[in-house]
Amino acid sequence: MTAPSQTRPDTCSIIVDVLRQEAAALSVMCKAIEQGGPVARQWEAAIDMIDACQGHLVVSGMGKSGLVGAKISATFSSVGIPSHFVHPADAVHGDLGAIRSKDVVMLLSYSGGTPEIVELAAILRNDGVGRLGVSRGDDTHLARLCETHICLGDLDEAGPLNLAPSTSTTATMACGDALALAVAHRRSFTASDFRQRHPGGSLGAMLRPIEELIRFRVGENLATSDVDVPLVEALRQSAEDHAGTIRHAGAVLVLDKQDRVVGLFTDGDLRRLVLQDPEQISKSIGTLMTKDPLTINHNATVGEARRLVAEYRIDEIPVVDDQGRAVGLIDIQDLMTPRVAVD
């Protein structure tokens, strides 16, 4: 007889089940904290402990918890909290020198009974080093060895087998992220602070101040005009000022007596004017300009400038200083390929 064929489980349904199960575990953790009581006090104590740390936050974990721990340590470092990872097996075999008396050690073991982590916790307790444990419950061996402990709760691992570390590692990583960002918030960590520690990549580019990107500056290579100057004269003066330059700005800034931006006239405005009513070119630039254009502060980030360009569908943004005086002009090409402007 032929064995009856078995229907393979739908792959997408398994994926959805895994994601839902992990999300549900985080939701349960959130509700427990929101209810206050012992769970909320555990988190508050952990935040207090890390914030008061006068050394490094050392993170340690074995296996999958170790991989998660390395990421948690990197997150703390990126938000200005000195941190490094120490493998528990290495620690008890000669690397305890990487942990100093003023450090706080975050020990990760969902079961709370990982031998290498438990041994390290016992050594640190004897040495008087601060210990923050993260495990499934307050009754674990690890919890009893730590002065502060966060309970993740009894979690079922995701997937049909309920074996591979999944829900527990997600909960542990989320715990680390939450602690890092909470302490950073308490310390008033800013986007500028973050950029100093993350200058590279797309994140660093988005946090770069536009001051570094301004290629067209008032008084150097950017045409400006008074409102009463005839447009044709303003354009002629701009062409004379930038004769021989490789590239000029595609706009003229119109300024008042205090050098504040009151208008903007772009190459696009000129093309439309020539096609629609070329005789108006003899009028003053003040009657043809875009009045009171959107401006941006020179300390704003590339990310903020990109948002304005996308939201208002503009190609150029005048840049002003803290007193509202014109500094220069940023165009969309500068924002799409950010680089430091050079003289």
Residues ≥6 apart with Cβ < 8 Å to 237: 223, 225, 229
Are 136 and 214 in the same domain?
no
pLDDT given at position 208: 81
The percent of residues in the chain predicted with pLDDT above 70, rounded, is 90
pLDDT given at position 246: 47
The pTM for the full model equals: 0.68
Are 83 and 222 in the same domain?
no
Are 185 and 226 in the same domain?
no
Mean pLDDT of 297-326: 91
Nearest-Å Rg of the Cα atoms of the chain is: 30
pLDDT in tens, 51-68: 999 999 999 999 999 999
Query: Chain-wide mean pLDDT for the chain?
Result: 89
Pick from 138, 158, 189: which residue ends a domain?
Answer: 189
Name beta bridge partners: 151.
135
**Residue 195 located in a structural domain:** no
**Residue 204 located in a structural domain:** no
Pick from 154, 189, 224: which residue ends a domain?
Answer: 189
Name beta bridge partners: 254.
225, 263
Are 33 and 105 in the same domain?
yes
**Residue 6 located in a structural domain:** no
Are 183 and 141 in the same domain?
yes
Instruction: Provide the domain count of the chain.
Output: 2
Are 237 and 171 in the same domain?
no
**Residue 316 located in a structural domain:** yes
Are 79 and 119 in the same domain?
yes
Are 180 and 220 in the same domain?
no
Which of residues 102 and 248 earns the better pLDDT score? 102
CATH number of the domain residue 290 falls in: 3.10.580.10
CATH number of the domain residue 173 falls in: 3.40.50.10490
Q: 229-236: which pairs have CB atoms within 8 A and are 24 or more residues apart? A: 229/284, 229/285, 229/286, 230/282, 230/283, 230/284, 230/285, 231/265, 231/280, 231/281, 231/282, 231/283, 231/284, 231/285, 231/288, 232/281, 232/282, 234/265, 234/285, 235/270
pLDDT in tens, 160-193: 888 899 999 999 999 999 999 999 999 988 777 6
Mean pLDDT of 37-49: 96
**Rounded to 5, what percent of the chain is helix, strand, coil?**
50, 20, 35
**Residue 179 located in a structural domain:** yes
**Residue 1 located in a structural domain:** no
CA distance 199 to 206: 10
**Residue 194 located in a structural domain:** no
**Residue 342 located in a structural domain:** no
Pick from 142, 158, 189: which residue ends a domain?
Answer: 189
Are 246 and 124 in the same domain?
no
* Residue 134 DSSP SS3: strand
Are 132 and 82 in the same domain?
yes
Are 227 and 135 in the same domain?
no
159: alpha, beta or left? (left if phi > 0; alpha if psi -120 to 50)? left
Range of the domain at 38: 11-189
Are 136 and 45 in the same domain?
yes
